[in-house]
């Protein structure tokens, strides 16, 4: 059992048969055709030699096959992580240098080690600090930044910059140096890939092809663009006319290589590796969970950390760069019928075959086609509609999303996501520092209590019922004190105050001190504090303190019982509740009912 937990592949290998193998093989063939141009393109996006993308698509896939829990997640280079890689290593070394490639290996190793550390400490929850609005804003802004950065390859001009305003300014300045043949190839590739993504599946279905197969085949348009552009460059001699091409790509399997053992460089790259790990994990797990739910399968987030960490370490020792699960490839893998992670291993074999025998084919592959592949892929990640939906639902979450997008576009990738996360946490603390606290009353004919400002309810003159709709902890402890004081001041005939704790999941040490202060102040004003509907875990916390022994009040199982005990007349007047026995005070004093809520 322990072996299966450490190596999930043992679970599905026991039931592996010829039918499953056939489905995995078909899916692997399709994903391989899709991954080859993407690997080359994302290596270029990361500022690395194209072969690095192919290397990053071999051993990492094998590692995920051994340790991953998702049956259909396709691991490899992805656009956002490639951009983050470029952002981290580009300022440190000359483009294309051996030192830069070594830094990419070290970055992958650090990312993998951080993921393994998170898995060992079961810290997968840290990814929850990247809220969906922040993640969505980061991905959308990064996609725009990536597309702007790739325009230099489409237009054949020099274009530098690490933020949107710099790129746009340099784009306008560089337009007079536009290279016609490069623009022709780039624009044609963009149009072709866009039509393939948008309309090819419908064309294929009109020819009688099944929807799933048609949709899958439409996604391998980059392979056709790659082959057609290579043919055009070779036949027309466009490389001699100034069209930039990939050039010679070394053949053979990736050599075993150690990451650069430079502690100073590791310290410099550590913050980027942490962000890459978190972003990669969130993106990967989100895709894996979505696809697993469609087949009623489960994934284990902490085991996914082990799998992704192993994949990145494998990339570090085989000439690659940081990798994670890709959305588009995983969907294609799922639609193509992949049944187990062995489809990923078969894809790795396909990439290895391409590296061994077909790298000379890519010599005349234009940069413009790779750039077009990247642009079409990343623009599908831009979701401005999410900003509108989030703004309509929660302006605070939308503010964090906007801050993330603006930060990425105007400052940089790392600064943008840190800004979004920081603002999200500040907004959360601000929101929970002023929790909703409602005075509640009894709904006539029931034992239910509702907000006096929203419902016509019965209230007791001597018992003030107050519902707290938030956990009590240090940011809101003082607010609770002030709110209770104001409520009591407005109701001079109050003799009992009952805090209804149905919405309280936590009471920390600061809030406990505030409850003690509230009890003392109320007692000085001849008012007794009581609690009701305290949840079991919270009650366990209170029992470990001395609060229950000296605050002098009672802990009631329900708010109705509290009111029935403290002011019986206010409950017997309620139609439909006559005859309900009132609990005795002794039954609850300083204790909790045996049946905890």
445-498 per-position pLDDT tens digit: 999 999 999 999 999 999 999 999 999 999 999 999 999 999 999 999 999 999
- Per-residue pLDDT at 148 exceeds 90: yes
Cα gap 36→223, rounded to integer Å: 8
Per-residue pLDDT, averaged over 321-347, amounts to 91
- Per-residue pLDDT at 584 exceeds 60: no
Cα gap 225→376, rounded to integer Å: 12
Instruction: Tell me if 446 sits within 8 A of 479, measured CB to CB.
Output: no
Per-residue pLDDT, averaged over 342-361, amounts to 94
pLDDT at residue 341, rounded to an integer: 94
Per-residue pLDDT, averaged over 77-92, amounts to 93
- Per-residue pLDDT at 593 exceeds 50: no
pLDDT at residue 571, rounded to an integer: 82
Instruction: Tell me if 512 sits within 8 A of 536, measured CB to CB.
Output: no
Nearest residue to 290 (alpha-carbon basis) of 340, 334, 322: 334
Residue percentage of the chain with pLDDT more than 90:
66
pLDDT at residue 520, rounded to an integer: 95
Cα gap 144→387, rounded to integer Å: 15
Write out the two tokens for 402.
């906007």
Q: How many of the other CB atoms lie within 10 Å of CB of 301?
A: 18
Report the range out of 37-46, 217-226, 410-419 with the highest average pLDDT: 37-46
Per-residue pLDDT, averaged over 267-283, amounts to 93
pLDDT at residue 462, rounded to an integer: 95
- Per-residue pLDDT at 582 exceeds 90: no
pLDDT at residue 500, rounded to an integer: 97
pLDDT at residue 106, rounded to an integer: 96
* Sign of the four-CA dihedral 505, 509, 511, 512: positive
Reported as a pLDDT band with limits 50, 70 and 90, residue 589 is very low
pLDDT at residue 597, rounded to an integer: 38
Reported as a pLDDT band with limits 50, 70 and 90, residue 273 is very high
- Per-residue pLDDT at 185 exceeds 90: yes
pLDDT at residue 575, rounded to an integer: 46
Residue percentage of the chain with pLDDT more than 70:
95
**What does the mean pLDDT of the chain come to?**
89
pLDDT at residue 2, rounded to an integer: 65
Strands of the sheet with 496-500, listed across from one edge: 449-451, 437-442, 463-468, 496-500, 528-532, 555-556
- DSSP3 helix / strand / coil % (the chain, rounded to 5): 65, 5, 30
CATH code that applies to domain 437-588: 3.30.750.24
Cα-based distances in Å from 530 to 198, 414, 492, 590: 64, 49, 18, 10
Per-residue pLDDT, averaged over 63-84, amounts to 94
Tens digits of residue pLDDT in 367-380? 999 999 999 989 88
pLDDT at residue 586, rounded to an integer: 35
Nearest residue to 328 (alpha-carbon basis) of 216, 412, 407, 429: 216
Higher pLDDT, 6 or 109: 109
Q: Where in the chain is the domain with CATH 3.30.750.24?
A: 437-588
pLDDT at residue 573, rounded to an integer: 54
Reported as a pLDDT band with limits 50, 70 and 90, residue 340 is very high
pLDDT at residue 1, rounded to an integer: 54
* Sign of the four-CA dihedral 575, 580, 582, 587: negative
Per-residue pLDDT, averaged over 42-60, amounts to 94
Cα gap 327→313, rounded to integer Å: 21
């Amino acid at each position: 059992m322990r072996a299966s937990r450490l190596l999930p592949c043992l679970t599905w290998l026991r039931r592996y048969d010829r039918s499953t193998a056939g489905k995995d093989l078909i899916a692997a063939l399709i994903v391989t055709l899709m991954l080859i141009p993407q690997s080359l393109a994302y290596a270029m996006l990361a500022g690395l030699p194209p072969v690095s993308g192919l290397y990053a698509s071999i051993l990492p896939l094998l590692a995920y096959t051994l340790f991953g829990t998702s049956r259909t997640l396709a691991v490899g280079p992805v656009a956002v992580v490639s951009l983050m890689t470029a952002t981290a290593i580009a300022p440190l070394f000359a483009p294309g240098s051996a030192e830069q490639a070594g830094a990419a290996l070290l970055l992958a190793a650090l990312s993998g080690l951080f993921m393994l550390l998170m898995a060992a400490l079961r810290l997968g929850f840290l990814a929850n600090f990247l809220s969906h609005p922040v993640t969505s804003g980061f991905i959308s802004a990064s996609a725009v930044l990536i597309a702007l950065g790739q325009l230099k390859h489409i237009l054949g001009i020099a274009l530098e910059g690490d933020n949107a305003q710099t790129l746009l300014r340099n784009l306008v300045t560089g337009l007079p140096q536009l290279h016609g043949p490069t623009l022709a190839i780039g624009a044609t590739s963009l149009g072709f890939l866009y039509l393939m993504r948008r309309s090819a599946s419908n064309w294929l279905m009109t020819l009688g092809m099944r929807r799933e197969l048609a949709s899958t085949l439409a996604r391998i348009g980059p392979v056709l663009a790659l082959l057609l552009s290579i043919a055009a460059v070779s036949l027309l001699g466009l490389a001699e006319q100034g069209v930039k091409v990939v050039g010679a790509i070394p053949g053979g399997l990736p050599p075993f290589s150690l990451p650069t053992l430079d502690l100073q460089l590791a310290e410099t790259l550590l913050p980027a590796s942490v962000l890459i790990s978190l972003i990669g994990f969130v993106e990967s797990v989100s895709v894996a969970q979505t696809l697993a739910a469609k087949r009623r399968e489960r994934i284990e987030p902490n085991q996914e950390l082990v799998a992704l960490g192993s994949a990145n370490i494998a990339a570090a020792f085989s000439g690659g760069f940081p990798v994670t699960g890709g959305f588009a490839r995983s969907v294609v893998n799922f639609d193509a019928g992949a049944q187990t992670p062995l489809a990923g291993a078969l894809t790795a074999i396909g990439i290895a075959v391409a590296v061994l025998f077909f790298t000379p084919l890519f010599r005349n592959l234009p940069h413009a086609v790779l750039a077009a592949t990247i642009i079409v892929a990343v623009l599908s990640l831009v979701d401005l509609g999410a900003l509108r939906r989030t703004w309509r639902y929660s302006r605070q979450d939308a503010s964090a999303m906007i801050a993330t997008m603006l930060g990425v576009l105007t400052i940089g990738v790392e600064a943008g996501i840190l800004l979004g996360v920081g603002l999200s946490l500040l907004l959360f603390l601000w929101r929970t520092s002023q929790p909703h606290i409602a005075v509640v009353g009894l709904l006539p004919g029931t034992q239910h209590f509702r907000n006096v400002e929203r419902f016509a309810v019965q209230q007791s003159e001597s018992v003030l019922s107050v519902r707290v709709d938030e956990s009590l902890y240090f940011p809101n402890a003082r607010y609770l004190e002030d709110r209770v004081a104001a409520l009591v001041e407005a109701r001079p005939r109050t003799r009992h105050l009952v805090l209804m704790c149905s919405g309280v999941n936590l009471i920390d040490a600061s809030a406990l001190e505030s409850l003690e202060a509230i009890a003392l102040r109320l007692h000085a004003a001849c008012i007794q504090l009581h609690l009701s509907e305290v949840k079991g875990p919270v009650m366990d916390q209170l029992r470990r303190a001395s609060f229950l022994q000296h605050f002098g009040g009672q802990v009631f199982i329900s708010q109705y019982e509290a009111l029935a005990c403290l002011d019986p007349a206010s409950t017997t007047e309620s139609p439909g509740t006559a005859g309900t026995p009132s609990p005795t005070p002794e039954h609850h004093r300083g204790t909790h009912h045996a049946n905890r809520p």
